[in-house]
Amino acid sequence: MIVTENLTKEYPGKRAIEGVSFTVEQGETVGFLGPNGAGKTTTMRILTCFQPATSGTARIAGYDVFENAEEVKRSIGYLPESPPLYLDMRVREYLEFVSRIKGVPRSQRRARLEDAVERCGLGDVQHRITGKLSKGYRQRVGLAQAILHRPPILILDEPTSGLDPKQVVEVRRLIGDLAGEHTIILSTHILPEVSMTCGRVIIINQGRIVLSQRLGDLAAQGPDRETLLVQLQAPGDVLQQLAQLEGVHSLEALPEDGTRRYRLVCQRGPEARHRVAAFVVQQGWKLLELRTQETNLEEIYLRVVSSEVEAA
Amino acid sequence: MRGFAAIYAREIRAYFTSPIAYVAATVFVVVVGLFFITLLRNYLSFDAYLREQMLSMGQEATPADVHQYLLRRFMGTLGAVTLFVLPFLTMGSFAEEHRAGTMELLLTSPVSQRSVVLGKFMAASTFFVLLLVLSFAIVGSLFLYGDPHAPSVFVGYLGVWLQGESFLVVGMFISSLTRSQVVAGVGGLGAALLLWLAGLIGDPSSMAGRWLNELSLVTHFEDFTKGVFDTKHLVYYVCFIVFGLFLTMRSLESLKYR
């Protein structure tokens, strides 16, 4: 649904993003995570045809954002960081205007408008002036604006920023409701938000993608499993032999740095850990490290983001 | 031109719900009315003086020419007042969209930039024509009590209209460059004033001076006030407006790279 290749955007004297490549499949909800100024908004602006990339390509629903901007704009609903409201208009008037510029056919306008108003819980405020609404309601109007023309793709830039906790919960629930029928990219710098609403996370830092992974793969898969990190020195085909151990569900080799490192998903509890350790010793391999890996998002985020900072 | 109608309708609505337009309209009508009364008084005393002179010379007294001594001056004044009022109609056109972030909505919607610029321009023009209609209620009184030369009045209004549209274009262009309405308003007024008076800058005997004079908005305006219609002036204003609209579209396009 969304494919970007090597997107780079340079501003005078500054490189906002560099070599950003990722793919989002239809129906996915992807969280775009990164510290402030990491390049999230820039990436989203490129996807929405608001700004062109300096180099690289992005295709949305098969259309190039530069060559076929018209079609791309039809396929996306975009909620910028601050909802783009005309503060002197009434909610309904505003949504009607948006449905017109989004090219919703006249015959369907009314139905779409009612639908968006209902989904976003705007029934009570639809005749009020947007400038007099609370921040939470403005955000909802912003969301209503984005879904009005039923775009297959939603791009939401920090949809919960600046809201109070109750409003945050409401907006997240709303996004959850939309997730089924839309492909969604949402950016945030709030970690739990990603685990709550997204199926996949892309972490971006200093303009580069540092991690792109399904959340299911990040967390130990289910309550009865955990992830072990094993580092050892050994000859031969270690992978095969480890995989045959009882209690090991899956494993993968990590990049080597002189020693061999593996990530194993095993039965939760000391049993499996012991079995792995005993097996390694029995084989005469040198066990250098064996530990369970904390797989909550926060740790991963801090790890990838701070290691980037050190490297810089 | 997709989206033109929607944008035009929204702009018109915005004009009629914002205080700026009402204040501008009120100021316009009051100032124009005051100038009209002053000019009318001057005309009447001049007329009386002329009759007296003629009678004393033993000639038959005829009224002073209404167009020459009243309408021509009035048209000139009307043109000057629009210069000071119109920048306030256009100052918000893009600056406010930048500031409020609605520009992002417009530019990520499947509407062409041409629709955005023309929609806003046509809405401002509509409001401006309304101002002219209001001002005609003042001048029109002459038709009730006298017999002004109607085609000359029409040509005069054509001039005011064309010149006013040029001011609107200048104001819109300046507004597309900034996110502050105040900067857009003052800048638009300054730019319009500069273009209006460009002829005064150069030495009229030099080549450059003559060029500047030809570029100046007011040079082309004068013939209209006399009731003289010359296509060269029409061509000048149309070119000015089209070029201004073109620049505004380029300016929006350049937003992408800023």
pLDDT higher than threshold 90 for residue B176 = yes
Nearest residue in A to B115, CA atom? A101
Determine contact: A278 vs chain B, CB below 8 A.
Answer: no
pLDDT band at A294 (very low <50, low <70, confident <90, very high): low
Mutate: best of B7, B106, B109, B252, partner A, most A CBs <10 A: B109
Q: Which amino acid is at A257?
A: D
Which stretch of A96-110, A295-309, B45-59, B224-238 has the lowest confidence by average pLDDT? A295-309
Among A residues 32-51, those touching chain B with beta carbons less than 8 Å apart: 48-51
Q: How far is CA A7 from the centre of its chain?
A: 17
Number of neighbouring beta carbons within 10 Å of residue A175: 22
The DSSP annotation for A17-62 comes to EEEEEEEE-TT-EEEEE--TTSSHHHHHHHHTTSS--SEEEEEETT
With CB atoms and an 8 Å threshold, state whether B105 touches A76.
no
Tell me B81's DSSP state: H
Determine contact: B101 vs chain A, CB below 8 A.
Answer: yes
How far, in Å, CA of A225 to CA of A219, rounded? 9
- So what's the pLDDT on residue B177? 93
- So what's the pLDDT on residue A275? 85
pLDDT higher than threshold 90 for residue B257 = no
Nearest residue in A to B103, CA atom? A84
Using only C-alpha atoms, chain B has a radius of gyration, in whole angstroms, of 21
Which stretch of A3-7, A75-79, A302-306 has the lowest confidence by average pLDDT? A302-306
pLDDT higher than threshold 60 for residue A311 = no
Q: What is the mean pLDDT of chain B?
A: 91
With CB atoms and an 8 Å threshold, state whether B105 touches A103.
no
Query: H or E stretch including B246?
Result: helix B231-255
What ipTM score was computed for the predicted complex, to two decimals? 0.87
Classified as helix, coil or strand, B189 is helix
pLDDT higher than threshold 50 for residue A312 = no
Length of chain A: 312
B81 and B29 Cβ atoms separated by less than 8 Å: no
Nearest residue in A to B18, CA atom? A88
Dihedrals φ, ψ of B196, to 5°?
-65, -45
How far, in Å, CA of A20 to CA of A187, rounded? 15
Mean pLDDT for the stretch of residues B63-91: 90
Question: Measured between CA atoms, how close is B1 to chain A, in angstroms?
Answer: 11
For residue A2, list its beta bridge partners: A24, A60
How far, in Å, CA of A290 to CA of A287, rounded? 7
pLDDT higher than threshold 90 for residue A66 = no
Residue with tokens 């199926």: A199
Considering CB atoms only, which of B7, B10, B102 is closest to A84? B102
Mean pLDDT for the stretch of residues B165-184: 94
| Among B116, B83, B103, CA closest to B189 | B83
For residue A31, list its beta bridge partners: A186, A201
Using only C-alpha atoms, chain A has a radius of gyration, in whole angstroms, of 23
Mean pLDDT for the stretch of residues A209-216: 79
pLDDT higher than threshold 70 for residue B204 = yes
How far, in Å, CA of A42 to CA of A9, rounded? 8
For residue A79, list its beta bridge partners: A156
Considering CB atoms only, which of A49, A76, A84 is closest to B105? A84
CA dihedral B217, B218, B222, B228 (to 10 degrees): 10
* B104 contact residues in A (CB cutoff 8 A): 48, 50, 78, 80, 84
Q: What distances in angstroms separate CA A276 from CA A248, A265, A272, A289, B163, one per listed residue? A: 9, 11, 6, 12, 87
With CB atoms and an 8 Å threshold, state whether B100 touches A86.
yes
Determine contact: B19 vs chain A, CB below 8 A.
Answer: no
Question: Measured between CA atoms, how close is A21 to chain B, in angstroms?
Answer: 21
| Among A153, A156, A146, CA closest to A65 | A153
Nearest residue in B to A99, CA atom? B6
Which is more confidently placed, A192 or A208? Answer: A208
Mutate: best of A100, A138, A143, partner B, most B CBs <10 A: A100
Whole-structure pTM value? 0.83
A221 and A265 Cβ atoms separated by less than 8 Å: yes
Q: Give me the sheet containing A286-292, strands edge to edge.
A: A248-254, A260-267, A225-233, A286-292
Chain segment B78-115, per-residue pLDDT in tens: 999 999 999 999 998 999 999 999 999 999 999 999 99
Nearest residue in B to A54, CA atom? B257
Q: How far is CA A176 from the centre of its chain?
A: 13
How far, in Å, CA of B171 to CA of A70, rounded? 29
pLDDT band at B219 (very low <50, low <70, confident <90, very high): confident
- So what's the pLDDT on residue B75? 93
A220 and A231 Cβ atoms separated by less than 8 Å: no
pLDDT higher than threshold 90 for residue A171 = no
- So what's the pLDDT on residue A196? 79
With CB atoms and an 8 Å threshold, state whether A97 touches B17.
no
Chain segment B38-53, per-residue pLDDT in tens: 999 999 999 999 999 9
pLDDT higher than threshold 60 for residue B229 = yes
